[in-house]
Amino acid sequence: MSDENAQTATGMPENSERAPSQEHDPQTTKLPMSGIRVIDVGTFLAGPYAASVLGEFGAEILKVEHPLAGDPMRRFGTATKRHDATLAWLSEARNKKSVLIDLRQQEGVQLFLKLVGKSDVLIENFRPGTMEEWGIGWKELSEINPGLVFLRVSGYGQTGPYRHRSGFAHIAHAFGGLSYLAGFPGETPVVPGTAPLGDYLSSLYGAIGIMLALRHREKTGRGQIVDIGIYEAVFRHLDEIAASYGLFGKIREREGAGSFVAVPHGHFRTRDDKWIAIACTTDKMFERLSEAMERPELASSRLYGEQRKRLAARDEVNRIVIEWVGSLSREEVLSRCLEKEVPIGKVNSIADIFEDEHFQARGNLARLEEPGLGEVVVPGVTPRLSLTPGQINNLGPPMGNATYEVMRELLGLSAEEIKQLRQRKII
């Protein structure tokens, strides 16, 4: 599409200086976020992952990093032969271009503001007040670009008494109420998985917020701030826990692999020392499990056919299932349960996932060739769109791989100006 049409479609003012981003790239023009330019100035994962998601669906992502150190995410996780890229960086900074600008120097700030004037979205995740200290708070940004959508992700949000506290996913899991639920009854709360779920969840809400704000901009031409605390994204996923406490004063405790609403509902070890997950949340599902176990009498009204009776006899019902599962191999348990349509699945390790035919068929494992490293496998694109499926064009970029391109082609600087900026370590 033409630059004029792109501005109309995104709600940009007609006199905007915003330059076309990827309208003429045949690989991205048909994607839903095509024509949207995003500046990602955050670090690590909370916030920057939102940019990665948008990039998978056509947005141009400019990753602004410090000229000397870059994003610390480059050094987080498993090291590779690329000195500036861990596996975490390669996977989660995909579809981005790296632009080096020192925001702590005034000349860097001025370059950054010019870049903002030619962009649609800005993403940051610094402690509240940091960007204001650098002279690039909402006041300055909105003056440069009234249509800017500004995603701000922080541990506790931009307001409230805790807003200046540092925030990480691990702390958000605890503060947001998730860690309290993780583990076995009466024991130490555990980390709910080793992945930083809070960072991913807050970024997904960030991506949703960006798209909602862009939709509003289409109607009004006005940008706005999207404000997310990492703990809020965690708390929002705790189902009825707030309503239960508000109405009845009930505090949900740790339940291990089980569930307070259903039984059997948990993880069970098979004879070959593997694990499967079973979820019988209705009487019909338990009836099917009883048939798979060749013990249909268990689902009678006299025994455990009603949910309330199973809950009252939780230990006994679980013991019966544990013994049955433990007498068979994982494949035998799966076969018998799937035949009776019992909700069941493997508790997969990553090795299991790599071998699983369904992961392969759905394209959940994306394989890309990375210079100097060979094939790198990363999670595929989610969600799946039938007409405009997302794509991975590149893994996490080398430091500064697009600095010259952006300075020269987007900001219109001369080769000599770029050289001088590099000598002074502004870029």
Q: What pLDDT digit, counting tens, does each position of 306-361 carry?
A: 999 999 999 999 999 999 999 999 999 999 999 999 999 999 999 999 999 999 99
| Whole-angstrom distance, CA of residue 317 vs CA of residue 310 | 7
pLDDT band at 14 (very low <50, low <70, confident <90, very high): very low
pLDDT of 125 reads 98
Q: What is the mean pLDDT of the chain?
A: 93
The pLDDT > 70 percentage for the chain reads 93
pLDDT in tens, 368-421: 999 999 999 999 999 999 999 999 999 999 999 999 999 999 999 999 999 999
Calculate mean pLDDT across residues 22-39. 76
- Label residue 253 exposed, middle or buried (CB < 10 Å: 0-12, 13-18, 19+): exposed
CATH number of 3-236+369-423: 3.40.50.10540
User: Using H for helix, E for strand and C for coil, what is the string for 173-215?
Assistant: HHHCCCHHHCCCCCCCCCCCCCCCHHHHHHHHHHHHHHHHHHH
Q: What is the pLDDT of residues 261-281, one digit of tens each?
A: 899 999 999 999 999 999 999
Percent of residues, the chain, with pLDDT higher than 90: 91
pLDDT of residue 16: 38
Nearest C-alpha neighbor of 278 from the set 287, 286, 266, 261: 266
Q: What is the pLDDT of residues 74-118, one digit of tens each?
A: 999 999 999 999 999 999 999 999 999 999 999 999 999 999 999
pLDDT band at 29 (very low <50, low <70, confident <90, very high): low
Cα-to-chain-centroid distance, residue 49: 6
Architecture of domain 265-269+275-346 in CATH? 2-Layer Sandwich (3.30)
Residue-level pLDDT at 24: 42
Residue 423 predicted with pLDDT over 70: yes
Domain ranges across the chain: 3-236+369-423, 265-269+275-346
How confident is the model at residue 236, as a pLDDT?
98
pLDDT value for 260: 86
120 phi, psi to nearest 5 deg: -105, -35
Catalytic residue numbers read: 199
Say how many C-beta atoms besides its own lie within 10 A of residue 370's C-beta. Answer: 17
In this prediction, residues 115-140 reach a mean pLDDT of 97
Per-residue pLDDT for 9 more than 80? no
* Mean pLDDT confidence for 47-59: 98
**Residue 2: pLDDT above 60?**
no
**In whole angstroms, how far apart are CA 92 and each of 166, 253, 267?**
22, 34, 30
